[in-house]
Structure 1
Amino acid sequence: MNNIFLHENSINKESRIKLLNQKPYIIWLTGLSASGKSTLANALEVELYKKGFKTYLLDGDNLRDGLNNDLGFSKKDREENIRRVAHLSQILLDAGLIVITAFISPYKKDRKYARSLVKEDEFIEVFVDTPLEICEKRDPKGLYKKARAGKIKDFTGIDSAYEKPDNAEIIIKNENIEKSLYKIINFLEK
């Protein structure tokens, strides 16, 4: 790493913020598989888009299909997945965008790392606190069923831990999409 010299760009984050006329944020949705993160993230992006905001949505499965397709689901690979997502989110935030992420991101230290890359008021953690039994009932991809049958190892919530956030800015608990959106947008407006 001794031969890396960061280049100072002429156009900086403040210039982009002024051009886009919006405050950039990382809205980091975390929770178990099938908790509703992706559905909520998509609805949030649509709502912000309607209001004229410039956004970008990063979703776990979509990034694992491309940028992170070399990673598995071991603890080490999960950590690397979130490290990459955190840096990509930081780059998009620097571009002046509102970045919405939907990742299980099971470990507190990884979410803390993502938060550390930006200013404190630019990172909003949203804990989609859906109980395991509800996630298992939903199971749209059949992953819980496979995990319970031993066909998927290290599955979060079954044989791999999910560390709940201690101080999420927003907690979504058994709320419909409309109420969840209201909660997040109300927070952003304040």
Structure 2
Amino acid sequence: MTRVGGDGWVCFITHMRITGGELISFSFKTERPKMAVIYVNKAEDDGDDEDDDDPLVEAIVAQRMRLSEEEVCSLWDIIPPRADFIGVSFVTRLTSTMVDRHNMKLPKSLSESCGIKPDEEGSAGIRLTARGSVTTCAYGVDTDGRTHFNTVGWKSFLVSKNLHVGQAILITIRNTHRPGLRMMVVIDII
């Protein structure tokens, strides 16, 4: 068992509403340490120490997002092998801003982990599943460091995909050899 404590830890536990069964992932691989809290809604600990190959350890999860047990099982089924994507994977729920207003931004930490530079602009391919059809979408990095997809391209992607507010999705960024595209953004429904 690992114990973590220190100044502000109790406030952190309260603020993040940690009650047990959450996976808290610390990464000290970068210059600035990172932490992700993954809510798995699992009350008991089965004592398995097989976390070394756990792809969820490197996932970035939207703050306060809770996955149901069914969603966690689905996530395990769809998360690709680490060698298949660059940076870290990102789990979130589609919001009305993303679906109704066609405004999609990737978090700064995801952009940085994929080597997307500040003030970078380019074109990305977006696809639903690794084998889905590709929609080309322009993107740019905002002053806050988040990667923002062009509204027209993101809307074009959404039109035929039957995605709706509240759906949990996994986003992975992959290299691509397609001419004119800097990266391939793969979205899987959890």
Same fold (TM over 0.5): no
Greater percentage in helix: 1
Q: What is the TM-score when the length of structure 1 is the normalising length?
A: 0.21
RCO higher in 1 or 2 (8 Å CA, sep ≥ 6)? 1
Q: What is the TM-score when the length of structure 2 is the normalising length?
A: 0.21
